[in-house]
Structure 1
Amino acid sequence: MRVVLPAGTTETALIDGISAAGASPELMAHTPSADAEILEYGEPTTAPLTPVSPSGCPTPAAITRAVREVVGFDVTVVDAGLTEPTGAATVDLDIDPGTDVRTPTAVPDADAIYDRAHGFGASLPEDDLLIGETVPGGTTTALGVLTALGEPATVSSSLPENPVERKRRVVDEGLAASDLEAGDCDGAPMEAVRAVGDPVQPTVAGITAGALESGAEVTLAGGTQMVAVAALLRHAGVDAALSIATTSFVADAAGDLETTCERLDCELTVTDPGFDRRDHTAMERYCAGEAKEGVAMGGTLSLVPDGKMAALRDRVETVCSRLGIDADGSPKEETGSNTTE
């Protein structure tokens, strides 16, 4: 099993109140880079911070890393528009960060990104792939793409209270700036990305399409952001079997997720890691609705056998301690106030 993690950024995340992915723009830019390092090495190496919210909720990368230490899997990180470099080894597909969706063009080279990612996905030798993502602001761009495609659009949030109306206003402004209305990109998925998406979306979609064409089984590891990718693929005419695996935290927050997956002909797997069984701030914050998903968390949790879920929770505590996150939520001085969306 290989987990592929496209990591990128979009200026959309800098819009006030959109993302919980950073206490400041400077910190937010480092979040995907730090996520990649945590997944690869177990802790940040060159990134100046550990992504963790002020309340003690760690980035989903901590959970995904814990799963890796329990069940084991290979990792490939793809630079899908990083603003800051990462110490993790990456596949470079020559992708730039995305711009604000409220500008006329959010991802100018969406088609080219998709084509390069398609070639990379087709070259992967594995028969089973989990494809995740880390991109602050990604639920807003997911809403943008779904709206542009004319798909019923409900998205989750890294925040306990989802600022969905703010996100809708941003998307409406973005569509207007691109001279589009909801549904205008039906059957034109890369036009939707170009107008109101982010560079991680065509990267994930291209890798997935290429891998499916080469005969691999692909699971999109994530929540509503992966629903947007699945919609892109279906609008591109990709009709191969496709799965989405997410967390119970996303499924509980997005009540129509099962119906959406049925509409897109995607098998849905929802995993509850049982975090409510532990008295640890990191797990308590997930149960309270923070973070919910990201960095392939839901997909990798689905790999944990029932008999090892308690061991996984133990390992989450170990990883959090390594990252400087105590059981009571007291971070060490070098731990940054930062979470992914």
Structure 2
Amino acid sequence: MEIVEGNNVYNKITDRHDILYILLGGTTRVSTIPGISAAGASPELTKLTPVLDSEIISEGKCISYDVVPMTEEGIPTPSIITRGANEVSGINTLIMDAGFIQDPAIPFIKTSLGSAGDGSKERALQFYERAKAYGSYLGNLLDGRYKFIFLAESVPGGTTTAHTVLSSIGIGEMTSSSMKNSPDAIKESFTARALERTGQLPGYNDSVAEFGDYMMAISLGISSVIKKSTLFYAGGTQMATVFYLDRLINGNNNRYVFTTGYIMKDKDKLMRKLAGQSVLYANMNFSGITGLKYYDEGYVKEGTGFGAAFGISYLLGNSTDSIYSNIKKVYRSFLK
């Protein structure tokens, strides 16, 4: 089994200076619905996960709170993997506010958009056009400055918002989940309430504004102006959903989804439906790292673009031993 598989665009990734990794961190009130998300030890704590993920990826530690984001089962956040892999690859990283509930204690691009709403009760994105404008502003600044731009996310509840948006445009397949056993019934119930609230919507932008999250809106804004750089959506079914929406709304073709082998094992059919042959993925094995070994058993699967981060580091010529070793070092630093 190859470490990186899928679309052979990965053969072009050879120089760390060509790459920018962007984390879009944000919240949606959907994540506080009991049983929806495992991206936090409790529904309320999911709101802090993007803040702490941002700090881990940027500084290698939690600054705002002395607690590591983890599932109710105690499985740690994938941002530990992303940090470990990005350290080895040496690529530039950027953190952007896609609806933080509070500011992380690191340098980042602030938008003050606030949390996305509960699409089953209200329009989720009150500032949809503003969010897209923030994205296009950043995209214009970056286009051509990097050959490859990777957009990753930390948005607890985001697979549910993605499922609802997809359902509203006629794609009913279930998205993935950070849980081993996906809470499909809870997601379906939420989606049914949301679609009943609005009825048939006139366009794709309306679906994102009514049911989505600000990560989606900012990503669509960034992609709308990227012409010279190659854009990768680094993530699972959430980011594949944005890839699909990007095609529908912006009509762009030079776009890819970079995910994990875990996602392809779980949702290959949906990933292919949304992104076709524009998918590439990294195969990983964390059996030697306590805590992270649960990823191999079907927990978490994706998040903070860790599949892309691992894959990039490998494609830049780093050995898997060196990547795993640094991930283990970052993980152990949180056990002290």
Separation (CA, whole Å) in 2 of partners of 1:275 and 1:11: 32
Match of 1:13 in 2: 31
Match of 1:157 in 2: 177
1:269 aligned partner, one-letter code: L
SS where residue 302 of structure 1 aligns? helix
Judge conservation of contact 1:221–1:299 (CA < 8 Å) in 2.
yes
Separation (CA, whole Å) in 2 of partners of 1:61 and 1:178: 35
* 1:322 matches 2:333: yes
Residue 169 (structure 1) shift: 1.2
Separation (CA, whole Å) in 2 of partners of 1:41 and 1:152: 39
Judge conservation of contact 1:33–1:47 (CA < 8 Å) in 2.
no
Separation (CA, whole Å) in 2 of partners of 1:316 and 1:54: 22
* 1:301 matches 2:310: yes
* 1:112 matches 2:130: yes
Residue 179 (structure 1) shift: 2.7
SS where residue 234 of structure 1 aligns? helix
Residue 111 (structure 1) shift: 2.2
Judge conservation of contact 1:19–1:137 (CA < 8 Å) in 2.
yes
RMSD between aligned residues = 1.8
* 1:203 matches 2:218: yes
Match of 2:158 in 1: 138
Separation (CA, whole Å) in 1 of partners of 2:43 and 2:213: 17
SS where residue 186 of structure 2 aligns? helix
Match of 1:190 in 2: 205
Residue 26 (structure 1) shift: 4.0
- Structure 1 stretches of 5 or more lacking a match? 325-331, 333-341
Separation (CA, whole Å) in 2 of partners of 1:164 and 1:63: 27
- Structure 2 stretches of 5 or more lacking a match? 1-18
Match of 1:66 in 2: 84
* 1:37 matches 2:41: no
| Equivalent residues in 2 for 1:221-236, closer than 5 Å | 221-236=234-249
Judge conservation of contact 1:38–1:61 (CA < 8 Å) in 2.
yes
Judge conservation of contact 2:20–2:93 (CA < 8 Å) in 1.
yes
Deviation track 1:159-202 (CA, whole Å, cap 9, x = no partner) reads 0001122101101101111233xxx45xx222111211111111
Q: Sequence identity of aligned pairs in percent?
A: 27
Question: Which of 209, 230, 234 is 1:217 aligned to?
Answer: 230
When normalised by structure 2's length, the TM-score is: 0.88
SS where residue 174 of structure 1 aligns? helix
Residue 54 (structure 1) shift: 4.5
Separation (CA, whole Å) in 2 of partners of 1:36 and 1:80: 11
Separation (CA, whole Å) in 2 of partners of 1:25 and 1:283: 21
Aligned positions, number: 314
* 1:283 matches 2:292: yes
* 1:24 matches 2:42: yes
2:334 aligned partner, one-letter code: L
Residue 312 (structure 1) shift: 1.4
Residue 17 (structure 1) shift: 0.7
Residue 31 (structure 1) shift: 0.5
Judge conservation of contact 2:42–2:72 (CA < 8 Å) in 1.
no
When normalised by structure 1's length, the TM-score is: 0.87
Separation (CA, whole Å) in 1 of partners of 2:214 and 2:120: 15
Residue 258 (structure 1) shift: 4.7
Question: Which of 173, 197, 205 is 1:177 aligned to?
Answer: 197
Residue 25 (structure 1) shift: 4.2
SS where residue 268 of structure 2 aligns? coil
1:241 aligned partner, one-letter code: N
Separation (CA, whole Å) in 1 of partners of 2:53 and 2:204: 28
SS where residue 293 of structure 2 aligns? helix
